[in-house]
């Protein structure tokens, strides 16, 4: 857990890709031990934000600290679990080989890798598929394998980019309840999603639109602030407000 009590702290982050401004001065503080939802439509800048936090791409300007380490956060990378939006599973490796590779890369020993593979596969309901080639799995199973990779080393900070896409409702519910358990153990879970209804599972959310954070806080507060019945309406109201401002 971070000493500052913040898993991620960033100030005035901007990122340009040529003419496109993906982030326009994003300042966010994400406390440790919460489930934090980054909500917004495609192109809002959610993925860019995660990639900057991981040091995969440098910001154009602004600063960020992840688990108290300035980006790029090389030293704390073994404490971070990342599930990219792309599948990012080797289809020509077995489920077990995929997991073991990432276990080795974050420095786990072989005994721990073996134990944790069994645990995380039980969690994503893929027990018994450890020796299956990923290419033989269904789309949903592949996504679950991808999530299992992010969870394998029991990281302090989980950065999950659209983890629930293509996962059936029942399993989605069990994922959310697991994320809740993780936060009870002091872990931080940052999830991007464009499904507004999923935000009800989060302790805190930030609504993003074209590279800006429109609002942040507990879901109920955001709804109240916007005078909306649900987050979808709150989001639309905030976008309208931002356009007129």
Partner 1 sequence: MSLRRVLAIARKALSQFRHDRRTLAFIVAMPLLMVVVFGYTFGGQVHNVRTLVVNEDAGYMGLRMADRFLENITGDTLVLVAWTGTASARAEVEAGRAWAVLSFPANFTQNLRTNVTATIGIALDGSSPTIVSAVLGTLRAAIEKTFTSGGRQDLALERDFVYGSEDTRFIDSFAPGVVALAVLMVTTIFSVIMVVREKSGGMLERLFATPLRSSELVMGLALALAVIAFFQSVVVLSAVLLLFQIKVVGSIPFAFGVLLLFGIGNQGLGIMLSSAAKNELQAIQFIPLILFPSLLLTGVFFPLEAIPSAFRPFSLIVPLTYASDALHSIMLRGWGVGQIPVAVDILVLLGYDALTMLGAAVFVRRQA
Among residue numbers 37 through 56, which ones bind partner 1 (CB under 8 A)?
A: 51, 54-56
Q: Is 10:190 a contact under the CB 8 Å cutoff? A: no
Give the residue with the Cβ less far from partner 1, 86 or 241.
86
3-state helix, strand, coil in the chain (%, to 5): 40, 25, 30
Question: How many alpha carbons lie under 13 Å from residue 114 in its C-beta half-sphere?
Answer: 3
Count the residues of the shown chain that bind partner 1, applying the rule CB under 8 A: 30
Cα separation, 38 vs 80, whole angstroms: 17
Residue 17 in the binding site for partner 1 (CB under 8 A): no
211: nearest Cα among 174, 232, 175, 239: 239
Q: Which stretch binds partner 1 (CB under 8 A): 31-39, 63-71, 75-83, 203-211?
A: 75-83
122-129, Cβ contacts within 8 angstroms, sequence gap of 24 or more: 123/148, 123/151, 123/178, 124/148, 124/151, 124/171, 125/171, 125/174, 126/95, 129/95
Residue 149 in the binding site for partner 1 (CB under 8 A): yes
Residue 77 in the binding site for partner 1 (CB under 8 A): yes
Among residue numbers 84 through 123, which ones bind partner 1 (CB under 8 A)?
A: 84-94, 97, 101-102, 104-107
Does a cis peptide bond (omega within 30 degrees of 0) precede residue 72?
A: yes
Q: Which stretch binds partner 1 (CB under 8 A): 32-40, 74-82, 174-182, 218-226?
A: 74-82
Among 34, 130, 133, 210, binds partner 1 (CB under 8 A): 133
Give the residue with the Cβ less far from partner 1, 105 or 242.
105
Give the residue with the Cβ less far from partner 1, 22 or 231.
22
Question: Tokens at residue 182, please?
Answer: 């993780």
Give the residue with the Cβ less far from partner 1, 27 or 57.
57
Give the footprint of partner 1 on this chain (CB under 8 A): 51, 54-56, 74, 77-78, 80, 82, 84-94, 97, 101-102, 104-107, 133, 149, 159
């Amino acid at each position: 857990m971070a000493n500052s009590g913040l898993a991620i702290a960033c100030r005035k982050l901007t990122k340009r890709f040529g003419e496109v401004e993906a982030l326009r001065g994003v300042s966010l503080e994400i406390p440790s031990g919460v489930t934090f939802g980054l909500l917004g439509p495609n192109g809002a800048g959610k993925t860019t934000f995660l990639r900057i936090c991981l040091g995969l791409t440098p910001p154009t300007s602004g600063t960020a600290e992840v688990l108290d380490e300035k980006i790029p956060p090389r030293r704390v990378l073994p404490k971070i679990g990342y599930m990219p939006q792309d599948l990012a599973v080797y289809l020509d490796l077995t489920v077990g080989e995929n997991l073991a590779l990432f276990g080795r890369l974050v420095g786990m020993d072989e005994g721990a890798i073996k134990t944790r593979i069994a645990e995380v596969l039980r969690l994503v309901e893929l027990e018994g598929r450890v020796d299956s080639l990923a290419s033989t799995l269904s789309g949903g199973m592949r996504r679950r394998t991808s999530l299992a990779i992010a969870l394998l080393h029991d990281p302090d900070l989980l950065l999950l980019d659209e983890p629930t896409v293509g996962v059936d409702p029942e399993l989605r519910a069990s994922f959310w309840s697991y994320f809740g358990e993780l936060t009870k153990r002091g872990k931080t879970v940052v999830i991007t999603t464009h499904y507004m209804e999923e935000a009800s599972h989060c302790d805190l959310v930030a609504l993003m639109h074209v590279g800006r954070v429109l609002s942040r806080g507990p879901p109920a507060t955001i709804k109240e602030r916007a005078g909306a019945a649900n987050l979808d309406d709150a989001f639309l109201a905030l976008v309208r407000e931002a356009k007129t401002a």
